[in-house]
Structure 1
Amino acid sequence: MQTQHTHQLLTRDCRFCSLVSKANGEDPIGTAGTYDHWLIMEVPQPWPQEIFQENPTLKSLMGLFQELVFKHGVKLKPILIAPDREYSHVGFTRVFYYYRPAKLFSQFEKQEFVVPESKAAALVTAIFKQLMEQPNNLSEFQQYQQQTSHIRELMVCTHTQVDLACGRFGTPIYRQLRKEYAPAANGRLRVWQTTHFGGHQFAPTLIDLPQGCLWGHLKPEILDLLVQRNGSVSALRQYYRGWTGLNEFEQIAEREIWMQSGWSWLDSLKAGKVLAMEEVTQRQEAEWAEVRIDFAETDGSTTGAYEARIEVCGEVMSALNSAKQMELKTVKQYYVSRLVKVE
C-alpha cells in the first residue's frame, strides 16, 4: 500500500529511490549479497553506466569473469574504486583481492597489489585462473604486493551514472568519512568511492572490508558508531544490510544474534546453513525459512550454534531505481520469530 508520505514524494517529482525506501520504512537486512571473493580495482572516473563493457581493460577480462561465475559457480564480486590523491600512484593500478579463508570465518583475507598499469590485466587474469584451479603464476607480482592487512577499507557507492541516489546521497557520506575519519585513524582506515555494488534504494550504502558487512540508508550522525564501535549495537540495526559471508535468510538471523551478543559477535567465526524453506516458484519469495548459524571463538575456547525461524511480517512498496516516473514494487519484510542457542 502506498503511504501518503510516498505519494507526496512522488508527486513532488522526487527521483530518488532511496527516499521512497526510507519513507516506507524498508528494512535493508538480507540484501548484502553472498560472496566468497572480492576483486576490487582502481579505475579513474568518470564511470559510465556500462563501464565493465566500455573500458577496454575491463572488457578484456569479462570472458574469464563470466566463466568463473557462471561455469565454475564462484561467488565473486567485482568492484571498481576511484584513485585517491593521497593513496594512489600515477602510472600504477591498485588491485584488492579478498577471499573467504575457511568455512567458519569472521572476515575476509586480503591481498593488495599496486602494479604498473600495463600489468593490471595480467594480475587480474592470474587471480581468476587461480580461482579456476588452472596453472598460473602470482610470483611475478610478489614485488608489487602491499602489506596492508591491518588497514580497514570503507567503500562508499557514488556511481551516479547507475543511479542518481548513489551520487546524491553517497557522495556527502564519502566526503565526511574521507575528511574526518580516515585522517584520524593513524593509517588504519582508508575510504574509497566505488562503482555500483547493488541496492541503490538503500543509498548511501557502503562496504566495510575486511569484515564484509554492508550498510545502507546511512546518516552522518551514525558514522561515529559505525567506524569507532563505541556505543550500543542496537542503534545500527536499521542500517545493517547484512554480512556477505551468509545468504539472505542467514543474514536476517545473524543480525538478531548480533543485537543480543554485542560487538564481540563480529569477531566470532561463523557459517550458516538453511535447514528448511518454503517451496516457491522462481519468481516468488519464500514466506519462511529455518536456518542454523554455527560459531566459534577465534581461540577455539567456545563453539556453538543458533537456530532461527524467519517469517514474513509484512510488505512495503519500494522503488528499485531512481527515475522521474517511479515504478514501485512490493517487497516482503521479514523478522526472526524464533531464535534459540542449540549447542
Structure 2
Amino acid sequence: MQTQQIDRLPLTDCRFCSLVSKTNGEDPIGTAGTCDHWLIMEIPQPWSQNIFQENATIKALISLFQEIIVKHGINLRPMLIAPDRDYSHPGFTRVLYYYRPTKLFSQFEKQEFVLPKKEAIPLVTAILKQLIQQPNDLSKFQQYQQQTSHIRELMVCTHAQVDLACGRFGTPLYRRLRKEYAPAANGKLRVWQTTHFGGHQFAPTLADLPQGCLWGHLEPEVLDSLVKRNGSVVDLRKFYRGWTGLTKFEQIAEREIWMQLGWTWLDYLKAGKVVAIEEVGQGQEADWAEVRIDYADAAPDESLSGAYEARVEVSGEVISALSSGKEMELKAVKQYRVSRLVKVE
C-alpha cells in the first residue's frame, strides 16, 4: 500500500524524502531526540554538508564535542545559525546556550553572548568544559552576556547541503516566519536559519526555544496557531515531533496529555520515566513501553501536581525515505499509539 502511495507522487517530487514521509502518513511524534543542553553559534553561510568538520572556526571543537557526547553521554545538541541583517553585528559572533534547569521543568534556561569573533571559540570551549567539570574561565565572558531570556527563538532548518528537502521546504517557511511573524512580535520573537538538527524526512522542521519543542511537516496554515499558541491543539497533532525534555516513548505519551489539556499543559513543569519496556536486540525498536509523566504547576509553591501513566504500543508501519535524491533508501518505520492513559495522582 505504501509503495502505491509513493508512486502517486508527481515525478518531480519523488526526490524529496519529506514528501514520501508525508504522503505515506508517517507520524513525526517521538522523533525530537532528547536534549539537556543546546549550543548554538552564528556561522555565516554557505554551509557545507560537513560544516562541523570543515569550517575552520569550529572544527577545533570537534574532539571536545565528541568527548562530551560519546565519552560522557551528555545529551548536547550543537547547531549553527546564519547571521541576520537585523539581529547580528559585523565583527561579532552570537552564542546561545540552553540547559535543563531542574528535573521537572517546562522550558530550558538560556544564556546568550554577543562577543568579538576571536573570543567565540574560547567561550564555547569554556561552556563545554563546564559540562564535564573541567577547569574553565567562563566568568571572564560575563561582559558579553545579553539579557534576552524574554525572547523566543524559532529555528528553521534550511541546510540543503545535508538534504534537499530542508532547502526546498525549510527556506520558504523560514522566510514567511521571518517576514510576517518576527516583526509583529515587538522584539519578543526572532526567527533563524539553522544547520541540520535531525529528521530531514519531516522537512520543513522547526525547533521552538526556550520551550524545546520540535515540529515537522509544517504547513503555512498552522503557523498562526503554532506561533500565537491559540486555536485547537488537535490541529497541530500531526506536526508535533515532541518535547526534547523527554525520551521517545515519553514524548508519544506527552502528546496525548497535551491533546487532552490544551495549551496550558506546555507551561507545566514535567519529567518522564520509562517504567517498563519490551526487551529487544541491539538496534531494534521495542513494540511497547509503559511510561510515567510527572507534572507540577509552575507556581512557586507547586500547589498542583500529579502524574499520568501511559502504555505506548505499535500500531503499524509505514514506508519512509531516509534522505532525498534520485535513488532514495526506503525503510519501514514503526508507528505508535497510546493505548492507555490514566491520571494516577
Scaled by the length of structure 2, the TM-score of the pair is 0.98
Contact 2:270 / 2:296 at 8 angstroms: preserved in 1? Answer: yes
Q: How does 1:1-343 map to 2 (within 5 A)?
A: 1-9=1-9, 14-299=14-299, 300-343=302-345
Q: Deviations over 1:151-195 (max 9, x none)?
A: 000000000000000000000000000000000000000000000
Q: Deviations over 1:294-320 (max 9, x none)?
A: 000011011100000000000000001
Q: How many Å separate the matches in 1 of 2:282 and 2:93?
A: 40
Q: How many Å separate the matches in 2 of 1:11 and 1:266?
A: 40
Contact 2:269 / 2:297 at 8 angstroms: preserved in 1? Answer: yes
How far is the alpha carbon of 1:10 from its aligned partner?
7.5
Aligned partner of residue 88 in structure 1, secondary structure: coil
Q: Deviations over 1:21-44 (max 9, x none)?
A: 010000000000001000000000
How far is the alpha carbon of 1:58 from its aligned partner?
1.0
Runs of 4+ in 1 over 4 A off after TM superposition: 10-13
Q: How many Å separate the matches in 2 of 1:14 and 1:314?
A: 23
How far is the alpha carbon of 1:2 from its aligned partner?
2.6
How far is the alpha carbon of 1:12 from its aligned partner?
5.2
Which shifted more, 254-263 or 67-76?
Answer: 67-76
Contact 1:13 / 1:324 at 8 angstroms: preserved in 2? Answer: no
Aligned partner of residue 326 in structure 1, secondary structure: coil
Percent identical residues: 78
Amino acid at match of 1:249: F
How far is the alpha carbon of 1:11 from its aligned partner?
5.2
> Which runs of 5 or more residues in structure 1 are unaligned?
none
Please, what is the CA RMSD of the aligned residues?
A: 0.9
Give the number of aligned pairs. 343
Amino acid at match of 1:303: S
Which shifted more, 313-322 or 68-77?
Answer: 68-77
Q: How many Å separate the matches in 2 of 1:137 and 1:93?
A: 18
Aligned partner of residue 19 in structure 1, secondary structure: helix
Amino acid at match of 1:99: Y
Aligned partner of residue 9 in structure 1, secondary structure: coil
Q: Deviations over 1:244-285 (max 9, x none)?
A: 000000000000000001100000000000000000011211
Q: How many Å separate the matches in 1 of 2:166 and 2:72?
A: 32
Q: How many Å separate the matches in 2 of 1:71 and 1:170?
A: 33
Which shifted more, 160-169 or 4-13?
Answer: 4-13
Contact 1:123 / 1:138 at 8 angstroms: preserved in 2? Answer: yes
Amino acid at match of 2:341: L
Q: How many Å separate the matches in 2 of 1:269 and 1:341?
A: 16
Q: How many Å separate the matches in 2 of 1:12 and 1:145?
A: 47
Q: How many Å separate the matches in 1 of 2:153 and 2:25?
A: 29
